Amino acid sequence: MTIQAGPSLSEALTKFMTAKKNGKGAVLDHSEVGRFVAWCGRERNVLEVTPAQVAEYAQHIGLGGVESVSRLTPVKSFLGYWKDEGWIQNGLAAHLRLPRGRRAAGGGKRVEAMASTQLSQEGYDRLVSQVEGLKGERVSVVADIKLAMEDKDFRENAPLDAAKERQGIIESRIRELEASLSNAEILGKGKKISKRTAVGTKVTLKDAESGKKLVYLLVDVREADATLNKISTTSPVGQALLNHVVGDKVTINVPKGTLRYSIEKVG
């Protein structure tokens, strides 16, 4: 597939809405897609959106409880559209997955509390940098709201509505990141490398069929990056690789079939 220069997220949203309007298929809630675009930044290029950021958005939406799955459905369609258009090579929709403890539950069950965050020093520093960047955006969005409010007709003031929505997303994101940082455990500080696979360990696998060796680093969802072989422990592959030792055989069911590996090295 030939990868073309990607559009901004705002442009991608416009093209996506037009394509859905002119085509056939299920009617999607474009407001949810709009929230995702606002979360990532309207002027960002689609090529700049990373798997980790998509996973972070899914975790943010997961805080909403039972409606989370339905809210992510149109966003998955939007991300799939990027690949269909040739803007990205590696699909991002698969990373839009709710952690197991946050999936919809019947009977009004409460969403489980966020567990402690295990991060590498690099991942911790990245979250700190994100918080600082968001606090800078906070100042900018306040200025945008002030400018939009100069239009006295608030009934159909799209710029004001967009700015307020963006402000809400920024404040929610800051709170979430600060909560993660305050509850973070930085991996590798004064600890021996575990003989079992866990968050923060490097795992060397051997494919049972081809004999090819693969090396993955198991990380928190906030650090996941498939291009660097950093696998989230909330993903199917990451979950299957947890709590194993050298010599174990691992079978992983994925959409494309069944993968079989033996664990060659841990750490």
pLDDT digits (tens, 9 = 90+) for 49-102: 888 778 878 877 765 555 677 778 888 899 999 988 888 888 888 888 776 554
- Domain for residue 112, yes or no? no
86 shares its domain with 24: yes
Across the beta sheet with 202-207, what order do the strands follow?
230-232, 213-219, 202-207, 257-266, 249-254
124 shares its domain with 170: yes
57 shares its domain with 85: yes
Nearby residues of 138 by Cβ (< 8 Å), 6 or more positions away: 167, 170, 171, 174
Mark which of 48, 75, 102 sits at the end of a domain.
102
**Of 47-51, 232-236, 257-261, the least confident:** 232-236
Distance CA(101)–CA(242), nearest Å, equals 17
Mark which of 44, 68, 102 sits at the end of a domain.
102
Q: Give the single-character DSSP code of 225.
A: B
Confidence of residue 223 (pLDDT cuts 50, 70, 90): confident
Question: pLDDT higher for 242 or 255?
Answer: 242
Mean pLDDT of 141-147: 83
- Domain for residue 66, yes or no? yes
- Domain for residue 196, yes or no? no
- Domain for residue 18, yes or no? yes
Mark which of 102, 125, 159 sits at the end of a domain.
102
Q: Does 155 have pLDDT greater than 70?
A: no
Range with the largest mean pLDDT of 189-193, 230-234, 251-255? 230-234
87 shares its domain with 30: yes
Q: Give the single-character DSSP code of 93.
A: G
> How many domains is the chain partitioned into structurally?
3
Q: Does 141 have pLDDT greater than 70?
A: yes
Confidence of residue 175 (pLDDT cuts 50, 70, 90): confident
Q: Does 11 have pLDDT greater than 70?
A: yes
H-helix segments, 149-235: 158-182
Evaluate whether 46 touches 127 at the Cβ level (below 8 Å).
Answer: no
pLDDT at 152: 62
208 shares its domain with 128: no
Q: Map residue 57 onto helix, strand or coil.
A: helix
Q: Does 242 have pLDDT greater than 70?
A: yes
CB atoms within 10 A of CB 159: 13
- Domain for residue 3, yes or no? no
Q: What is the CATH number of the domain that holds 215?
A: 3.10.50.30
CA distances from 195 to 144, 217, 243 (A): 53, 14, 9
Domain around 124: 117-186
CB atoms within 10 A of CB 100: 10
Polymer length in residues for the chain: 267
- Domain for residue 22, yes or no? yes
N- to C-terminal Cα separation, the chain: 36
Q: What is the CATH number of the domain that holds 160?
A: 1.10.287.180
Count each helix (H run) and each strand (E run) in the chain, helices first: 7, 7
The DSSP element (H or E) to which 22 belongs, if any, is helix 9-22
